[in-house]
Structure 1
């Protein structure tokens, strides 16, 4: 066996042994190990390993709300970085994990949030017109999040609603004014969660308000990272820079 092939085999063996060792641990330890891997999600392989460990923890303890919503969150990241033809399958798993979280605990704040997010990305992957049945469930999940904690995930529920109103065709409830209103609220509640700024800039550009859009995009490029969201921040800044060049 040549050296490169031998190296790949050893790496594969090491990964299998690591996952096998994690499987032998209890659910709490599996979640702890998955959390450590998720912090390193900029490396997609680490994010995938985290998702697998959350899945193992949930299988070991089907009543673990924490494992369920964290699985949905990890699959959201993995799916957003997967090939297009894999996204529906991955996001479907995220939906199921979110559904399990809220079935375990109907008052699960992260469960409702990540279920609503999963519905959104699943619908987007399938195609908006094929997923109109998900509009009301998304709104319902976000309404619950706002009722429990309007500032959760840096105004995340408003960010999801703003994106929903922007992406929907007008005939089916799309409304750029409502999109702008919700996204401005999200920006106010999460001034460093720059995905809200990017979404808001997209709507403003669509409405011909390029100067206002430029202001929000410049905030993304020059602003400090939201602690714990460094992998996302790097991507958001790259997106904002690309959008600015197009203005």
Structure 2
């Protein structure tokens, strides 16, 4: 009986994919934004862990599409940030694999978001021997993202953040201002609002 109850609970907890990739993508994006920008810090790790399971289901439902892999990479990388420590290294390696596979399928998917996410991983993850961090690769991926989406909020924000890490605050300010004035994304108001707050905080710190 306990085993049957566990199975039933698992079925109820599992996401019901709509069979429409745009609707399913919107659900993952909305939940990510809620966790990232509305949950208290001590709740984020568990919430991202749960969302990572949903992201795997999203990938399984659309195995030939790049978009689920991109968002699996994004979820795993932010889960790693919430988790922290050495335990996060396995997550960022898995995130990199998902993003690289997305590039193999469709490099231009979601306006080149795989390049943005890979670039952010390469400058934020420690270098050898702990991790795979590499500033040259970070720059390469981030610039490619900007080629594909020059006015986007995320590629401009992450390239600016990379420039801050490279001790180039004036160049970073240019890209932060461009990110702040980026067009709003349909159906992503919470993500845009949260990102703009991050942008303002970085501009104030420069």
- Normalising by structure 1, we get a TM-score of 0.68
Q: CA deviation at 1:123?
A: 1.1
Change (3 A) 1:240 1:213: same
Match of 2:45 in 1: 88
Q: How far does residue 164 in structure 1 lie from its aligned partner after superposition? A: 0.8
1:206 paired residue number: 165
Partners of 1:151 and 1:197 in 2: how far apart? Answer: 17
The answer to whether residue 131 in structure 2 is matched with residue 175 in structure 1 is no
Structure 1 stretches of 5 or more lacking a match? 1-54
Question: How far off is 1:87 after superposition?
Answer: 1.0
Task: Work out whether 1:136 is the aligned partner of 2:81.
Answer: no
> Once the 2 structures are TM-superposed, how far is the Cα of residue 65 of structure 1 from its aligned partner?
6.9
Q: Deviations over 1:106-130 (max 9, x none)?
A: 2133221221111111111111521
Within 5 Å, which residues of 2 pair with 1:50-199? 61=16, 64=19, 66=21, 69-80=25-36, 81-171=38-128, 172-199=131-158
Contact 1:76 1:118 in 2 (8 A): yes
Shift of 1:177: 2.1
CA RMSD of superposed structures (Å): 2.6
Give the C-alpha shift of residue 154 in structure 1. 2.2
The answer for the alignment partner of 2:205 in structure 1 is 246
Show structure 2 runs of 5+ residues with no match. Answer: 1-10
Cα distance, 1:86 vs structure 2 = 1.1
d(CA) in 1 for partners of 2:26, 2:184:
22
Q: TM-score, normalised by structure 2?
A: 0.80
Task: Report what 2:8 is aligned to.
Answer: none
Instruction: For CA contacts below 8 A with separation 6 or more, give which structure has more relative contact order.
Output: 2
Q: Deviations over 1:44-92 (max 9, x none)?
A: xxxxxxxxxxx97965x56847476544333211210211111111111
What does residue range 36-51 of structure 1 map to in structure 2 within 5 Å?
Answer: none
The alpha-carbon deviation at position 227 of structure 1 amounts to 4.3
Change over 3 Å in CA distance of 1:139–1:208 after alignment to 2? same
How many residues align? The count is: 192
Question: CA offsets per residue over residues 215-238 of structure 1, 9 Å max, x none?
Answer: 101212334334444443333333
Name the counterpart of 1:221.
180
